[in-house]
Structure 1
Amino acid sequence: MSHQTGIKANDQLNKFFLKCKDGHVRVFKVAIEEEQLVLKEHKNEKHNWEKDFDKYVIPLIEENQPCYILYRLDSKNSLGYEWLFISWSPDTSPTRQKMLYASTKATLKQEFGNSLIKEELHGTVLPEVTLEGYKKHKKNVAAPAPLSSREEELQELKRTEINTDISINTKQQTLGGVSFPMLESAQDAIKDMARGSYDYIQLRIDIPEETIHLVTAENISLEKLPSKVPLDTARYHLYKFKHTHEGDYMENIVFIYSMPGYNCTVKERMLYSSCKNPLTEAISNLGLEIVKKIEIDVGSELTEQFLYEELHPTNTLYRPKFAKPKGPPGRGPKRMTKNH
């Protein structure tokens, strides 16, 4: 996975990572300063994690300044204590700051240790990062996930009492297309993209298994986007297009279906085309809003102007009437002819 910012932990923070996992440190705050991840503050435990939570976390929050907070829980896994990763990105902070912290989060998680992070909490207003806000978040995550279109179809079949031998893992063919299940890694990447962790995701269909797999999830610039499109196979892409429109800064998720013409087999072309609509519905159900769906043949089509015009097409409000060209000068008056 590549990282757009290239920002990494400084030496002091790396040494603290080793020390803080001994069970004494309860919480610490990390910020970005001078293009480095730096340790701002830390506190040792006093009580259990619930009693310490608001007392320690709330004072670390600055109203207009993003930061990362790692809070140690009392539970353990095979590698040690488990941690809650809090990403604080207030709406009132500058857009550039929010983008910088969002694109550096994956680096911090990796350098600290992904396996030690039990849960993540993203906050834009203070109530979201209190103990009560964390408990609400856990309750929402534990709630049954929205049914996918494939699962809704199954329920509809049961309601209408149609005898059919079909299971939750079976592909289904409807008027809207064929729905293949997504692997958990693909679902997790889409959820992370919705939280701001990634700018780009690529998905593929495993044709023999009839499942949808994650190819890559990363942060890339628009200039590198065309190079991600294969020349010999179809793919699905999700890209966060960052741009300004009429003076407003915008970040829009674009779903791109790339099909390199007849370099693919007939079966591959049919499956990718049929799976497209059910897949975009499933992506929306995972919390990622798709603003525009685009189909391309080759990656070179993905220019900034092309994406902008797809998202903000020009409406022609006035179309001039066709003007009949004038005849040659000096032709004289029209002649009248009689019908015999």
Structure 2
Amino acid sequence: MANAASGMAVQDECKLKFLELKAKRNYRFITFKIHAQQVVVDKLGSPEETYDDFQATLPANECRYAVFDFDFTTDENCQKSKIFFIAWAPDTSKVREKMVYASSKDRFKRELDGIQVELQATDPSEMSFDIIKARAL
């Protein structure tokens, strides 16, 4: 289904992998990229991978969408998990690419039912582990 506003289609694999992350916890994270006018799966992170591993997969000069399954312990000592949607648009990426990702983001995010926290970052410091942790609580 192409979106009239952005002309962007979303590959079914994106939704399937997201459901596996959400329901089966098969992945710690998934990165997505726009390729040939559609959103496709870029990389899958195994459940053992860390937030640092996830950050290392994001390209320094290209935009990406990502979901990250963040496990944490509350102050009451409860184990919890939140699924983050991260729109990665580094300052060093091309203006046109940033515009395409920005105009397609909401439509793509609606395809992923179960996102709990959204974060936009143009620099690694804007999505540091401390920020993720603070937003999860």
- Which residue does the alignment assign to 1:46? 48
- Which residue does the alignment assign to 1:25? 27
Name the aligned partner's letter for residue 94 of structure 1.
K
Contact in 2 for aligned 1:3/1:103 (Cα 8 Å): no
Between the aligned partners of 1:38 and 1:31, the Cα distance in structure 2 is: 6
Q: Percent identity?
A: 28
Higher relative contact order (CA 8 A, sep 6+): 2
Q: Residues 207-226 of structure 1: matches in 2 within 5 Å? A: none
Contact in 2 for aligned 1:128/1:134 (Cα 8 Å): no
State the Cα distance separating 1:36 from its structure 2 match: 0.6
Does residue 60 of structure 2 align to residue 63 of structure 1?
Answer: yes
Q: What's the RMSD between the two structures over aligned residues?
A: 2.4
Between the aligned partners of 2:40 and 2:104, the Cα distance in structure 1 is: 12
Detail structure 1 runs of 4+ shifted over 6 Å in the superposition.
none
Contact in 2 for aligned 1:57/1:130 (Cα 8 Å): no
Name the aligned partner's letter for residue 69 of structure 1.
A
Between the aligned partners of 2:85 and 2:26, the Cα distance in structure 1 is: 17
Name the aligned partner's letter for residue 10 of structure 2.
A
Contact in 2 for aligned 1:87/1:123 (Cα 8 Å): yes
Between the aligned partners of 1:126 and 1:60, the Cα distance in structure 2 is: 12
Between the aligned partners of 1:133 and 1:82, the Cα distance in structure 2 is: 13
TM-score scaled by structure 2? 0.79
CA distance 1:24–1:15, shift in 2 (3 Å): closer
Q: Residues 194-273 of structure 1: matches in 2 within 5 Å? A: none
Name the aligned partner's letter for residue 30 of structure 2.
F
CA distance 1:12–1:117, shift in 2 (3 Å): closer
Q: Deviations over 1:263-314 (max 9, x none)?
A: xxxxxxxxxxxxxxxxxxxxxxxxxxxxxxxxxxxxxxxxxxxxxxxxxxxx
Name the aligned partner's letter for residue 30 of structure 1.
F
Structure 1: runs of 5 or more not aligned: 76-80, 143-340
Between the aligned partners of 1:28 and 1:64, the Cα distance in structure 2 is: 18
CA distance 1:120–1:3, shift in 2 (3 Å): farther
State the Cα distance separating 1:46 from its structure 2 match: 2.0
Does residue 126 of structure 2 align to residue 128 of structure 1?
Answer: yes
Between the aligned partners of 1:106 and 1:65, the Cα distance in structure 2 is: 19
Structure number with bigger Rg: 1
Between the aligned partners of 2:42 and 2:7, the Cα distance in structure 1 is: 20
Aligned residues: 126
Structure 2: runs of 5 or more not aligned: 73-80
Does residue 13 of structure 2 align to residue 12 of structure 1?
Answer: yes
